[in-house]
Structure 1
């Protein structure tokens, strides 16, 4: 590899060359030179794009690929290609495969299948065996073989004592416990946010209370046990408030929010389109604004696409029966760029590295090259032709997005559109 990135605007808030045009010479995956002046190297391949911007490589903290077990929805190989072309140098892959990622063999498989790709695959181990919420999985062993965190995907831990023990146990080896927050008894048979829209459409509602009571309970457990807790994909104003207060009290808690909960509201449900059936559900404008505020003030640590491929048989059916979930890698940047400042987007798309203890890739000479290449300008309508995933269940089809992603440089490889 002998490449020169030419005339790229660097977006790196604390870097001395932030928001300035630079040139970067990369040799064998390592940054050889960074300069505001032209770099002329014989036989180097020049990467020059319209309005090229670069930042540290982005990380998505919640991605599902299906394999093993659901390869018809997505494969690891194609999923990592999609991630790379969408700007993500790292993806944390959920354990909701078949079999569940709850042991070292499953962790080894994911790492092996993800090897030799531009995008680095980081397995999330299940917190409980088979994600059943009954017994703790092999957390210590899985971490030793590469798992970066532990949580049951979209499943709240009903047994409070089990979560208490998990938080206590995880401290022995500095592991991060993550737990989805939802009270199933309050959610009941709800399928959308409980509010004016659900009433108008005659759909059973999910009150934000279902999330908030478990957030409050889990924060109380964290205060009792200590340790590190990550709360994925919060969706309500009260959840933001509770986590803000917990951080002010010194609790070691982090959280994420999903792109579609920052951009869309339950108003899009008028057509009963199951592409918008997600969990947690799209909520109203007041909740959306509170989530945006939480991102801006730092209460919400990172943003995820919560990419979840599903085949048409699970989505093109009656709203009540359709599965929850949308793909989101391809549309993540363009959607965020319609509601947040560019610096904030880059900050929140790289912050998961700190949470999941992924080595930060410094933009310095002599360091490995790990970049996302993108153009923050230009309006386009997202349609099926923009989808690279095997599954096409995107909530953003037909939406106007801003900007585009060229690709990434990572692991000594270049994927560039």
Structure 2
């Protein structure tokens, strides 16, 4: 793959060319030259795009594809194409398939289905067998087969002793354990955030306490066991405080936040649109402010789309019967570019998640592998069904105004624009 990228503003704090407008020459999939102006004597294909910005390739740590078992929601092939068009050169795929990805054969199947794609696929193995929170799954075997972390996606580990054992055992092979922050004994059958809007609308609420109690428990366990813990998709102001304090005390903990929790409040529930039914639920403006500050201060390490395609039969139904989840790959950048500083946003999509999940990274510099995301941060538009590449169309951001357009990616010696 040989290319000449013309006049690109580089956004990469790890690069000596950060915030500079440069030409970038790529030969055989590697960056061979970066300069103010480069000629093209070998007549390579040139990329010239309006207000072109370029960063390290983005990595999303929480993506769901239906395959195997729920191909009507999303296939791995189409999911990876969607990720590429949305700017992601790598995705970590959750184990909520059918059957659950809780053994080495399942991990190998998913990994093999993702070969030869512009976007690299990294499977997350189930932490417990069949995500039932009863027995640990085959963690070591799955890691040897390519699993980069272990999680019961959107299901809490109810048995505290099981999480204790998982954190202890995982240290033997330096594995990252994820624990979804919800205490089901408090959450019960809640549908939305327990607050003024849940009362007004007559929808059963889940209090923020359900998240915060679980995080408190998990942090105490981590303090006892050691190991590496990642808390995915936090959503409350107190959760930020708890994790900030834990980091200050030296615990090896990280956390992520979903894009929609940085933008949308539970005021969105007023029309009973089932696309707003997500887990954790949409919270309050006070929570959004705390989450944004947590991102800017570095307490929250990672931003994810928490992309979860749900077919129309399970989403276009009565609110109480609809499944939780929204797609988010296509909308993440446009939704967040106007609320999170660009450099911070890029760091939360590149350096931070790659370091925490242990995947290969490369700076934008000469002699580095070309793993790049191309985008325009000043393109305004309304997000509609026409902007969706996923098979499922359950987007919480439908008809919302966006600020920022992704052109595509250069990765794995492939160009997808």
Normalising by the smaller structure, the TM-score range is: over 0.9
Cα distance, 1:43 vs structure 2: 2.3
Q: Deviations over 1:313-359 (max 9, x none)?
A: 11111111111100000000000112111111101111211110011
CA contact (8 A) 1:2 1:43 kept: no
Q: Distance in 2 between matches of 1:272 and 1:41?
A: 59
Q: Deviations over 1:35-79 (max 9, x none)?
A: 122232322000110000000000000000010000000000000
SS at match of 2:32: strand
The more displaced of 301-310 and 21-30 is 21-30
Report the equivalent of 1:78.
78
CA contact (8 A) 2:23 2:35 kept: yes
CA contact (8 A) 1:89 1:370 kept: yes
Q: Which residues of 2 match residues 197-236 of structure 1 at below 5 A?
A: 197-236=197-236
Runs of 4+ with deviation above 3 angstroms: none
The more displaced of 345-354 and 247-256 is 345-354
SS at match of 2:375: strand
Q: Which residues of 2 match residues 17-416 of structure 1 at below 5 A?
A: 17-350=17-350, 351-416=352-417
Cα distance, 1:16 vs structure 2: 1.9
Q: Deviations over 1:194-251 (max 9, x none)?
A: 1111111111111000000000000000000000000000001111000000000000
SS at match of 1:379: strand
SS at match of 1:125: coil
CA RMSD in angstroms, aligned pairs only:
0.7
Q: Distance in 2 between matches of 1:77 and 1:136?
A: 30
CA contact (8 A) 2:51 2:376 kept: yes
SS at match of 2:67: coil
Change (3 A) 1:367 1:16: closer
Cα distance, 1:363 vs structure 2: 1.7
Q: Distance in 2 between matches of 1:74 and 1:348?
A: 26
TM-score of the pair, normalised by structure 2: 0.99
- Tell me, which stretches of 5 or more residues in structure 1 are unaligned? none
- Tell me, which stretches of 5 or more residues in structure 2 are unaligned? none
TM-score of the pair, normalised by structure 1: 0.99
The more displaced of 265-274 and 11-20 is 11-20
CA contact (8 A) 1:23 1:39 kept: no
CA contact (8 A) 2:310 2:325 kept: yes
Aligned residues: 416
SS at match of 1:70: coil
Q: Distance in 1 between matches of 2:110 and 2:273?
A: 33
Q: Deviations over 1:119-175 (max 9, x none)?
A: 000000000011111110111111111100001000100110000000000000000
CA contact (8 A) 2:74 2:309 kept: yes
SS at match of 2:320: coil
CA contact (8 A) 1:274 1:316 kept: yes
Q: Distance in 2 between matches of 1:173 and 1:13?
A: 31
